[in-house]
Structure 1
Amino acid sequence: MDKIIPIEKNGEYLVEITGLGHEGEGVARINDYAVFIEGALIGEKVKIKIVKVKKNFAFGKLLEVIEASKERREPVCSIYKRCGGCSLQHLSYEGQLEFKKNRVKNSLERIGKLKVSNQLPVTSDQLPVPNKEEGIILHDTIGMKEPYRYRNKVQLPVGESNGELKVGFYAARSHEIIGMDTCNIQDEVADKVAALTKTWMKKFNIKAYDEIKDTGSIRHIMVRKGFRTGEVMVVLVTKQKELSNKEEFVNLIRDNIEGITSIVQNINVKKTNVILGEKNITLYGKDNISDYIGEFKFNISPLSFFQVNPIQTEVLYNKALEYAGLTGNEIVFDAYCGTGTISLFLSQKAKKVYGVEIIEQAIDNAKLNAKENKIDNVEFIVGKSEEVIPELINKGIKADVVVVDPPRKGCEKSLLDAIGEMKPSKIVYVSCDTGTLARDLGILEERGYKVREVQPVDMFPMTGHVECVVLMSRVEK
């Protein structure tokens, strides 16, 4: 018998919010049927309109907050409800941190089938340290003192709508550009560059790219800033190599942007959603800028991967280093090492670090970063971690500690199997996805490991994203 759906599309209902979904959307239940409502908070009574109905759940639009949560805040952004960048500005920052901790807890228990301790991880003389065998210690989310203006990189689409030039962000789940004058999670320099670029385009009648017709010139504006160095890079992404009035653009940016170090034209001739092309032409200054994470210096090109929140990245990496518990005698494998940022942190206290990454350009950057910082106890290898690590083991090279920092899809099962067979004393798992993290931790527990501690870190305030660092240790059966 088919399930009877107790609501209908376009119907209006008064509901109470009893939970928050994966991205922080409110969850209400009508006769045990789930309805997701963006912008609603736990404990609120709200009026909604049903906009989409599925077999087991529906989506509602928030029409009115009848009874507001004490955690509700007025968003600081004027386009918050239209832009797809932030999802939690209406929730207090303390509430955001608690939501992210609960999101991690729910994933560990529901997906990983892991037990989280209900005891606080205290270490004072007055209060007992929880028995780690009773469950995982899940720490409070580490937040930022100032949860705005934290991003060191912004990519702004450029387009036209009804003859009006727009520079801003895409609306949620669409390619409609929402024009913006300021973004409160980006560095202020991005606001200035966007305004100057619009002025230049209007003055010289430079056309924005039309992704439907595949015509026009300016596709995106990218701004990168070194938070410690103050160096600024401006990248103009164009459809063609030919760029009229580029000298005027260079002069405008150079004369008005403090710290300008590099102005680059990136050429992307393809009809694609990929933002950057492969060809760069430096119009002014250097080919790259530099910045620091901890004591390590990194060179950043237009195409380089570099963490967008350097303040919290340092927190994340220091926690990974702490969990690794290195004494100077250990061999460490860093799987999915990227451009070597975590590897360099680990090198401070390890005997030798082997970093493995499938993307050759990232390994080239990792080697340059090691050379720049005069690090000689790190070796970087191109290849799939699940293939390279067994090869290292066959050569007699075994790790005492393994660090993994996989993409959103998590680790390959064959890699987890190889780690289990190698039996390192510790595994440190750095994750950007709570679901695949919980799945992989469950697999590793079956391979003879115990999850000891989980530390959520808020890398992206005002959004639903959360990063985690996890400590696992070997349990002899």
Structure 2
Amino acid sequence: MYPCPLFKKGCGGCPLLALPYPGQLQKKQAHVQKLLGGFGPVRPILGMADPWHYRNKAVSTFAAGPGRSLRSGIYAQGTHKVVPVEACLLHHPALDEAIAAVRTAAAACRYEPFNEDTRTGLLRHVLVRHSRAAGEVLVCLVTAAPELPGSRAFVAKLRQLCPQVSTVVQNINPRHSSAVLGSAEKILYGRGCIQDSLCGVRFQVSASSFYQVNPVQTELLYNQVIAAAALTGAEILLDAYCGVGTIGLSCAGRARHVLGVEVNRSAVQCAVQNARLNGIRNARFVCADAGKAMLDLAASGQRPDVVILDPPRAGSTPEFLTALDALAPRRAVYVSCEPATQRRDLEFLVQRGWHVEHIQPVDLFPHTEHVETVVLLSKGEIDSKKVRVEFSLEDMDMSGFQKGATYEQIKAYVLEHTGLKVSSLYISQIKRKCGLDVGQNYNLSKKEDAKVPKCPPEKEAAIRDALKYFQMI
């Protein structure tokens, strides 16, 4: 018997739900062992004591219900049908309470759901975030148009029903796209953000901020990173792919100096604000390509003691890894949310003399297939008078990097960011449109006269977003 009634209705958000949690951990442990065990010892996976209601963020999509009622939920797998969700076993209860209050307040204001086919209606989605530290809830109402009639009445009703809501934001997304958020926002109530804390450091969290959704396991993950870095207070730490600075700032109290590098300017601005919020003066953040920044450091004779890298699901790049090798820190701590691409990157480094000291899996997303890994790497000192190695990027085997993301990685990205389920067939069609190698003949049927369904526009947009994210186009 499944513990969730949505499991058989095509939800797809918890593919391992039918497997008891100890079995899930065993499955993930075996997966990491198979992929990474050849590099070094794999430690026992760190799971959750209570693997339920851990998510601090949720997105719900609006749709019309019976009798023109307003409902919200998730898309059933492979369809545009919204399955109503009253409660989720992974959501913090405050999220479901806030979403229910939004539905009631929106219905009282006679807001109608947006219809993608007719391009009518107003409400597209609601995104909610919860702060474990302060108990606050952020509500972001995503609309198809900038006007929100009766917004004051909506906010008053919402806060009456759910007093935990401390800020309300309207996000405007008029695009014909599967992306949840648009680029324009209005603050309807409060500060427009909430505060949460990780490892004793406070962070400002807005609707669009990247912030880990499982705070309990994130602290566990970061503590593993800190332990692997072996910080004593005297080290210079380089935090590559630093994002809004969560890892670097969590380490700042144990390092002499932290330098965070991130190519996303908005994220760098958030990292600077978070450092100021906590009065952290030994951390500096710059907007730059991490690989180029490391080459510049190496050329100037500067050498951090520790490099922490936490790249996106697509993994790192040969340029970055070559720069890391040239910089030659004493230790490198590689945090990954995709062991398959991490394996490729480790092969690159091991071929250049790096050693994997240990591999620590952490279950950040119970009841899903995802697993995080923390890998500690070191490189023995080489006497430059005796050994000189010359190589260029042109001579390297780049095939592993050129393949980009797998079909499963693209599906996972689209589901996580848009709530849409996309098939390998649809991914194949869009890859062909973009001039990419498909690898498998998903577009051909065994029947000569078979009709092949075409990828809907909103799913095509979502797949293209994923291909851009994985740097395939």
In which range does the TM-score fall when normalised by the shorter chain?
A: 0.7 to 0.9
Aligned counterparts of 1:206 and 1:358: Cα–Cα separation in 2? 39
Aligned counterparts of 2:99 and 2:115: Cα–Cα separation in 1? 18
Deviation at 1:476, TM superposition (A): 4.4
- Structure 1 residues 141-180: Cα deviation after superposition (integer angstroms, max 9, x where no partner): 1111111110111111112367564311122344332111
TM-score (norm 2): 0.77
SS of the residue 1:348 aligns to: helix
Aligned counterparts of 2:314 and 2:74: Cα–Cα separation in 1? 26
Q: Is contact 1:265-1:281 (8 Å) kept?
A: yes
1:335 aligns with 2:262: no
Which residue type is aligned with residue 332 of structure 2? I
Q: Is contact 2:313-2:341 (8 Å) kept?
A: yes
SS of the residue 2:47 aligns to: coil
Q: Is contact 1:85-1:172 (8 Å) kept?
A: no
Pick aligned residue for 1:373 from 261, 265, 278: 278
Q: Is contact 1:217-1:240 (8 Å) kept?
A: yes
Which residue type is aligned with residue 4 of structure 2? C
Aligned counterparts of 1:349 and 1:199: Cα–Cα separation in 2? 48
Deviation larger for 147-156 or 324-333: 324-333
SS of the residue 1:191 aligns to: helix
Matches within 5 A, 1:282-297: 282-297=187-202
Deviation at 1:205, TM superposition (A): 3.0
Partner in structure 2 of residue 408 of structure 1: 313
Q: Is contact 1:160-1:208 (8 Å) kept?
A: yes
Deviation at 1:215, TM superposition (A): 2.1
1:149 aligns with 2:53: yes
Partner in structure 1 of residue 333 of structure 2: 428
Cα pair distance change 1:174/1:445, threshold 3 Å: farther
Which residue type is aligned with residue 125 of structure 2? H
Partner in structure 1 of residue 437 of structure 2: none
Deviation larger for 250-259 or 150-159: 250-259
Aligned counterparts of 1:177 and 1:389: Cα–Cα separation in 2? 47
**Which has a greater percent of strand?**
1
Which residue type is aligned with residue 90 of structure 1? A
Partner in structure 2 of residue 7 of structure 1: none
1:139 aligns with 2:43: yes
Pick aligned residue for 1:99 from 18, 22, 27: 27
1:222 aligns with 2:127: yes
* Structure with the greater alpha carbon radius of gyration: 1
Q: Is contact 1:147-1:461 (8 Å) kept?
A: yes
Pick aligned residue for 1:355 from 239, 260, 267: 260
Which residue type is aligned with residue 34 of structure 2? N
- Structure 1 residues 294-349: Cα deviation after superposition (integer angstroms, max 9, x where no partner): 11000111111111111111111110000001122222111100000100122121
Q: Is contact 2:69-2:107 (8 Å) kept?
A: no
- Structure 1 residues 214-267: Cα deviation after superposition (integer angstroms, max 9, x where no partner): 221001011111011111111111111111232232122111213221011111
Matches within 5 A, 1:302-317: 302-317=207-222
- Structure 1 residues 357-394: Cα deviation after superposition (integer angstroms, max 9, x where no partner): 11000000000111111111111111111111111222
Matches within 5 A, 1:416-455: 416-455=321-360
Matches within 5 A, 1:49-68: none
Which residue type is aligned with residue 280 of structure 2? I
Matches within 5 A, 1:236-247: 236-247=141-152
Aligned counterparts of 1:160 and 1:465: Cα–Cα separation in 2? 33
Q: Is contact 1:417-1:447 (8 Å) kept?
A: no
Gap runs ≥5 in structure 1: 1-73, 116-135
Q: Is contact 2:263-2:289 (8 Å) kept?
A: yes
Gap runs ≥5 in structure 2: 383-473
**Which has a greater percent of helix?**
2
Share of identical aligned residues, percent?
38
Deviation larger for 426-435 or 380-389: 380-389
Partner in structure 2 of residue 53 of structure 1: none
Q: Is contact 1:152-1:187 (8 Å) kept?
A: yes
Aligned counterparts of 1:270 and 1:383: Cα–Cα separation in 2? 30
Q: Cα RMSD (Å) of the superposition?
A: 1.6
Aligned counterparts of 2:259 and 2:102: Cα–Cα separation in 1? 44
Aligned counterparts of 1:205 and 1:346: Cα–Cα separation in 2? 49
1:80 aligns with 2:7: yes
Cα pair distance change 1:173/1:447, threshold 3 Å: farther
1:389 aligns with 2:317: no
Deviating beyond 4 angstroms after TM superposition, the runs of 4 or more aligned structure 1 residues are 161-164
Q: Is contact 1:268-1:279 (8 Å) kept?
A: yes
Q: Which has the higher contact order (CA 8 A, sep 6+)?
A: 2
Aligned length: 380
SS of the residue 2:7 aligns to: coil
- Structure 1 residues 383-406: Cα deviation after superposition (integer angstroms, max 9, x where no partner): 111111111222222121111000
Which residue type is aligned with residue 399 of structure 1? P
Which residue type is aligned with residue 98 of structure 1? Q
Aligned counterparts of 1:369 and 1:353: Cα–Cα separation in 2? 14
